[in-house]
Amino acid sequence: MHRPWLDRQELLALYGEASVFFFPSHEGAGMVVAEAMSYGVPVLCYANEGPGELTPAASSLKVPYRAFNQNVKDFAERLRWLHDSPRLLAAEAALSRRHVAQHHTWERRGQQLQRIYEQALAA
C-alpha cells in the first residue's frame, strides 16, 4: 500500500502492523530499510549497494537487478513465498531484527565513524 506523508507515530504504528517492507527502488535506502527491520519487518528489495547492503546477507528476499519484466516476476515470486509460508515470514522477520541489533545501532554507527576518523587522521 502506498501512503501519503505520515507523522512519526502513525509510521511507527504501521511498522508494527506490517508483514513485509517492499522497497523496489535501486537507489540508496536511507534509514527506512533499517528502521523497518528494527521492527522485525523483513525487507523485500534489490540485491544492490543500497538496500541490499543494509539487509542480512542470508535473506532470501533480495532480488538481482535485471530487466523490468523479470524484476516484477522475481518480486511477485518472493511475495508469494512469504504469503504461502508463515514459517519463512517468521524466519525472515527474526533474521531482520537480529541483523539490525548487530549491525545498525547508533552505537555501531558511532564506532564505524570513529574508525573512519582515526584512519583519516593517521594518514
pLDDT tens figures, 9-51: 998 899 989 999 999 987 776 788 999 999 999 999 999 988 8
Q: What is the pTM of this model?
A: 0.82
Cβ atoms of residues 55 and 33 within 8 Å: yes
- pLDDT for residue 50: 86
Is residue 42 within 8 Å of residue 61, measured between CB atoms?
yes
User: How buried is residue 3: exposed, middle or buried, by Cβ count under 10 Å (0-12/13-18/19+)?
Assistant: exposed
What pLDDT, in 10s, does the model give residues 50-91? 889 899 999 999 999 999 999 999 999 999 999 999 999 999
β-pairing, 43-46 with 62-63? parallel
pLDDT higher than threshold 90 for residue 2: no
Beta-bridged to residue 44, according to DSSP, are 22
pLDDT value, residue 103 = 87
Domains annotated for the chain, with CATH where assigned, are 8-122 (3.40.50.2000)
Non-local CB neighbours of 19 within 8 Å, separated by 6+ positions: 41, 82, 89
Label residue 4 by pLDDT band (50, 70, 90): confident
